[in-house]
Amino acid sequence: MKKLSTDEIKRLSVADFKEAQKLPVVIVLDNVRSQHNIGSVFRTADAFRLEAIHLCGITATPPNREIHKTALGATESVDWKYFSTTAESILELKAAGYKIVAIEQATGSLMINNFTPELPDKFALVFGNEVHGIEDDIIHSSDFCLEIPQTGTKHSLNVSVSAGIVLWEFFKKMTR
């Protein structure tokens, strides 16, 4: 066994990424404060070849030096759009036929390990602010909530870590 070189990995070019079939998932960042978290979510969205990211409210947008530090160029490959409110993003996504999924600890939430997304459904996954989570009105306008099981003393994960866990679950279940 040996570690693969960059050439051996055979990554897509940005142009090839733009033309490639995408996983029918859009990430919605609801007032995410940390620009490093935003960049990390871009990089994860690139890794799983998602359709797009919606940046909402106080969520910073590219070009941005702090986002670039963790995105490592993914702001060029992943399509993104800015909305002044998360509600505007949700309205657009619902009109386009996406199921709106809040990633939040809430009454009636489903544990992600017990949920299987079905194609041809399209999903918009909403991730909230690092301190306050997803706004209540956005939870109410969501089709359902998914929750990541946690059994330690802390009851929250970093938003970019949560995105990685949730996107891996969607990717492995939707690409079988």
3-state SS track over 97-108:
CEEEEEECCCCC
Each residue of 135-166: pLDDT tens digit? 999 999 999 999 999 999 988 899 999 999 99
What residue type is 139 in one-letter code? I
C-alpha atoms less than 13 angstroms from C-alpha of 118 in its C-beta half-sphere: 0
Q: What are the pLDDT digits (tens) for 93-136?
A: 999 999 999 999 999 999 999 999 989 999 999 999 999 999 99
**Is 164 a member of any domain?**
yes
Q: The domain containing residue 74 runs over which residues?
A: 17-148+156-174
Residue 168 lies in a domain: yes
Please give the tally of structural domains in the chain.
Answer: 1
Position 54 in a domain:
yes
- The CATH code of the domain that includes 102 is 3.40.1280.10
Can you tell me the distance from the alpha carbon of 30 to that of 144, in angstroms, rounded to the nearest whole number?
A: 16
In a domain, 12, yes or no: no
CA dist 112 and 125 (Å) reads 12
75 inside domain:
yes
* pTM: predicted TM-score of the whole model, two decimal places: 0.96
In a domain, 10, yes or no: no
Given a contact cutoff of 8 angstroms between Cβ atoms, the answer to whether 106 and 143 are in contact is no
Does residue 102 belong to any structural domain of this protein?
Answer: yes
